[in-house]
């Protein structure tokens, strides 16, 4: 069986870490994920760190993840990084793309970085603590994703900010922050893998909000909580050809057409999803 036809495993990862030469990091990543590896996916590199969603046969994936943590060029910047794995029925990606960007997740607020600030309280909470927060009356559960993702699936009692892009999220928070504080609300927010919450948490604290973020996001919750379905309604959107997974991290039968529907505002996303899947 060729590398291209072997069953694939999906891996998502990120780390906010200062990178002095992101272009050099990206160039080395392209070498490590060449066509002979069978790796597909998307990796973003910026001065603030790395973010990736890739898939490959298990052996190739393990070799890449090891190199990412140990290659001398990276200087230990990614050592011990967490990788979230899920099985694939559909091969998630056809090609590998490695890009250098100003941000690894586009927040759009000048001066805001996801780099850890040791002077701020740690906002991460475990899946076990998250379950408790879901049931505390003074907690507002905030979905830090796009509205079409929320519609497909969400934590119980979660609020939809009704944003079409992550960069719209700060305006929503700014518009509601004073009311939340007046009501004595603590904010528990979540996203798919945790990266959007990482970018948002320190900025929200600067708005005077008490914030918690689900460590590792929805995917970690599904990994660690066998009964995650008790707290989750629907499916979880994923940004690859699988489209959606359930609480057991299994691919569902949901199609791009079902995710995006006939909303004209989502037509470009549907077109992109169709381009992602040329039958490969």
Distance separating alpha carbons of residues 119 and 122, to the nearest angstrom: 9
Instruction: State the DSSP H helix or E strand holding residue 29, giving kind and residue range, or none if neither.
Output: helix 22-32
Distance separating alpha carbons of residues 143 and 160, to the nearest angstrom: 6
The residue among 80, 190, 86, 106 whose CA lies nearest residue 145 is 190
Q: Which two tokens stand for residue 234?
A: 């629907």
- Give the alpha-carbon dihedral of 64, 30, 238, 48, to 10 degrees: 100
Residues in the chain: 280
DSSP 71: -
Of 88, 100, 191, 197, the active-site residue reads 191
3-class secondary structure for 172-197?
A: HHHHHHHHHHHCCCEEEEECCCCHHH
Annotated catalytic residue 197: no
Residue 141 to residues 1, 21, 122, 158, 222, Cα–Cα distance (Å): 46, 38, 18, 5, 17
Which are the catalytic amino acids? 191
């Amino acid at each position: 069986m060729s590398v291209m036809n072997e069953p694939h495993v999906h891996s998502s990862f990120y780390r906010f870490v200062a990178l002095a030469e992101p272009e050099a990091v990206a160039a080395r990543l392209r070498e490590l994920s060449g066509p002979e590896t069978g790796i597909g996916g998307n990796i973003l590199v910026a001065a603030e760190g790395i973010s990736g969603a890739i898939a490959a046969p298990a052996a190739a994936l393990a070799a890449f993840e090891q190199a990412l943590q140990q290659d001398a060029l990276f200087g230990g910047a990614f050592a011990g990084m967490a990788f979230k794995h899920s099985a694939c029925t559909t091969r998630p990606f056809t090609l590998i793309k490695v890009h250098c960007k100003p941000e690894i997740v586009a927040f759009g607020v000048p001066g805001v970085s996801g780099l850890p600030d040791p002077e701020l309280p740690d906002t991460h909470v475990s899946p076990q603590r998250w379950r408790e927060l879901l049931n505390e009356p003074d907690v507002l559960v905030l979905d830090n994703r796009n509205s079409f993702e929320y519609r497909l699936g969400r934590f119980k009692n979660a609020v939809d900010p009704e944003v079409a892009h992550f960069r719209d999220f700060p305006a929503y928070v700014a518009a509601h922050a004073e009311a939340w504080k007046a009501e004595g609300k603590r904010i528990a927010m979540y996203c798919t893998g945790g990266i959007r919450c990482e970018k948002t948490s320190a900025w929200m604290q600067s708005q005077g909000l008490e914030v918690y973020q689900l460590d590792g996001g929805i995917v970690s919750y599904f990994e660690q909580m066998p009964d995650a379905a008790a707290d989750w309604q629907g499916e979880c959107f994923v940004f690859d050809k699988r489209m959606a997974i359930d609480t057991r991290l299994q691919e569902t039968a949901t199609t791009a057409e079902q995710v995006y529907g006939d909303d004209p505002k989502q037509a470009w996303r549907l077109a992109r999803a169709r381009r992602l899947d040329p039958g490969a």
